Amino acid sequence: MMQYLDTIQPELMNITRLFGIPDSEWEVPRYTYSAWADAGRYHCRFTDGTHTAEASVAIPPHEEEERLLTLHRKRAARRLVRQTLYDLCRETTGIHPPWGSLTGIRPTHLMYEAIGLGLAGEAAKQYVIDRFDVQPDRADILWEIAQVQGQLPPPEDRWMDVYIGIPFCTTRCTYCSFSSGELGKGKLVEPYLAALFHEMEACSGMIAATGRSLRAVYVGGGTPTSLNEEQLRRLLDKMMQCFPGAMEYTVEAGRPDTITPGKLEAIKAAGVGRISINPQTMNDETLRIIGRAHTARQVIDAYAMARAAGIHHINMDVIAGLPGETVEDFARTMAFARQLKPESLTVHTLAIKRSTRLHFENYRFPTGVEAAQMVQLGLETARALGMQPYYLYRQKNMAGNQENIGYALPGHACQYNVDIMEETTHILALGAGGISKRVYEDEGHIGRAPNVANIEHYIARVEEMIQRKRELFEVPAQ
């Protein structure tokens, strides 16, 4: 059994982080474990010097072919070790993490596992709770999300989504983890668009060539509306020429200061039904701290402009746990959300990489309890607006080990968001940093073809990016 566990420490550190235990505790070394097998069971004992937790699990029996048997035994051993450490941390800290011992980014998969076993309602929720010690309110949300997703066109092999990336922003948010570049004087924009349009044309026939149909198109980044009006118009024309007939088109208009009546008119005229205008917070001081060059007032004006342009679906992104923010600050942002009445609301919880922390070293971060209160306020606001949760994902290092949840009015769930999060639909991704995905449903495997993230490299190597997609989807060159 020990041979299976040689590489497990990073996973174990993910468990201790759930309890706010610093990674340095592993250097002491504070945590030690022993693992052994006897009488048809794996055993594991964890200790932190003062407390000990011990557990065992049956060794999967010899009824499978050798490769599967090894895999199942390896999984059983890892689960046992992770769970024993989790029990030890829960006992010694008294903390019950909202997602229990789950450290993955897609908790919905666990609910779908329960549904796949024929469970429904309370029984499905209980399965999720028992399996990973997930808190009951989170199990409720997972069940509700599965119900909402169940009303969308089912994910089938015949569908493909398209992602088009515009990797420019007017300024860089200090928490940003995307590969977007600052617009600066805009020198790279025209060469970038030329390469992107070439990639769009070259890939326009790929969906039909694989015998599939287009489902949703998402223009993200970056901030696509950081293009000027004429460039945005050309982009949307090219999009409709190359990828017509999708069920849903979304354009990220994230920064309110990039939005003009002319750009909204271009979006509307192209037939795009959904845009995203993202305040993140309605607190001007926080907006300054996180490097967004706009004010709360500009958010209000942008919403008014979009409504005047006849945009009927606006999504709003907010972030709980921003540096220096209190629960009251977040409550104020939520009060604005109630006034602005977006059709969908995505409540993120701040997840920051260690390097990004440097930007914020003078600011206090909300505690886990405060982050939980903010997330709860997000939920209450969405409910007050008549919305339901429809997708959810987690990231590493999220404040209070919370989550990101997308809420929407009935009939307004974003198909693309569901597809990308559930990883059930093929994605053809264009532009710098886009990652195309092919879903091999039967094998439970995703094939990927990433485009390079660096803008200049993308421009220089666009032919290679096209070829990668041809290979992934097995489309011969014309």
Which positions lie near ligand SF4, rule CB under 6 A? 169, 172-173, 176, 178, 180, 221-223, 254-255
Looking at beta carbons only, is 105 or 176 nearer to ligand SF4? 176
Least CB distance to ligand SF4 at residue 174 (A): 9
Q: Strands 274-276 and 313-320, how do they pair? A: parallel
Q: Residue 248, SS3?
A: strand
* φ, ψ (nearest 5 deg) of residue 241: -70, -40
CB of 33 to ligand SF4, least distance (A): 39
Cβ proximity to ligand SF4, 177 vs 367, nearer residue? 177
Pairing assessment for the beta strands 159-166 and 426-430 based on DSSP bridges = parallel
- Nearest distance from residue 219's CB to ligand SF4, in Å? 13
Q: How far is the CB of 398 from ligand SF4 (least distance, A)?
A: 16
Nearer to ligand SF4, 138 or 292 (CB): 292
Beta bridge partners of 221: 166
Cβ of residue 380: shortest distance to ligand SF4, in angstroms? 25
Tell me the HSE value of 242 on the side-chain side, using a 13 A CA sphere.
Answer: 25
Of residues 83 and 258, the one with the C-beta less far from ligand SF4: 258
Least Å from the CB of residue 224 to ligand SF4: 10
Q: Which is nearer to ligand SF4, 222 or 378 (CB)?
A: 222
* Nearest-10 crossing angle of helices 189-203, 229-242: 10
Rg of the chain on CA atoms, in Å: 24
Cβ 209 to ligand SF4 shortest distance, Å: 32
Least distance to ligand SF4 from the beta carbon of 173, Å? 3
- Dihedral (C-alpha) 104, 109, 110, 116: value to the nearest 10 degrees? -160
| Rounded alpha-carbon distances, angstroms, from residue 158 to 350, 418, 466 | 36, 16, 21
- Token pair in block for residue 191: 């060469």
* CA torsion, ordered 18, 20, 25, 31, to nearest 10 deg: -40
Please tell me the distance from the alpha carbon of residue 124 to that of residue 142, in angstroms, as a whole number: 10
Please say which residue, 62 or 354, places its beta carbon nearer to ligand SF4: 354
* Closest-CA residue to 430 (of 146, 169, 198): 198
Q: How far from chain centre, in Å, is Cα 7?
A: 26
Q: Give the whole-angstrom CA distance, residue 424 versus residue 421.
A: 8
> What is the smallest separation between the CB atom of 311 and ligand SF4, expressed in angstroms?
19
| 414 alpha carbon, distance to own chain's centre | 13
- Cβ nearer to ligand SF4, comparing 291 with 447: 291
Yes or no: say if 143 and 123 are a contact pair by the CB < 8 Å rule: no
Cα separation, 228 vs 442, whole angstroms: 44
Contacting residues for 390 by C-beta, under 8 A, at least 6 apart:
145, 148, 149, 406, 407, 408, 413, 414, 417, 418
Residue number, 222 or 323, with CB nearest to ligand SF4: 222
Nearer to ligand SF4, 221 or 321 (CB): 221
Minimal distance in Å, beta carbon 363 to ligand SF4? 17
Complex with ligand SF4: residue 255 or 426, whichever CB lies closer: 255
Closest approach, Cβ 200 to ligand SF4, in A, equals 21
* 3-class secondary structure, 221: strand
Residues 6+ positions from 59 with CB-CB distance below 8 Å: 37, 40, 41, 42, 73, 76
Toward ligand SF4, which CB reaches closer, 26 or 178? 178
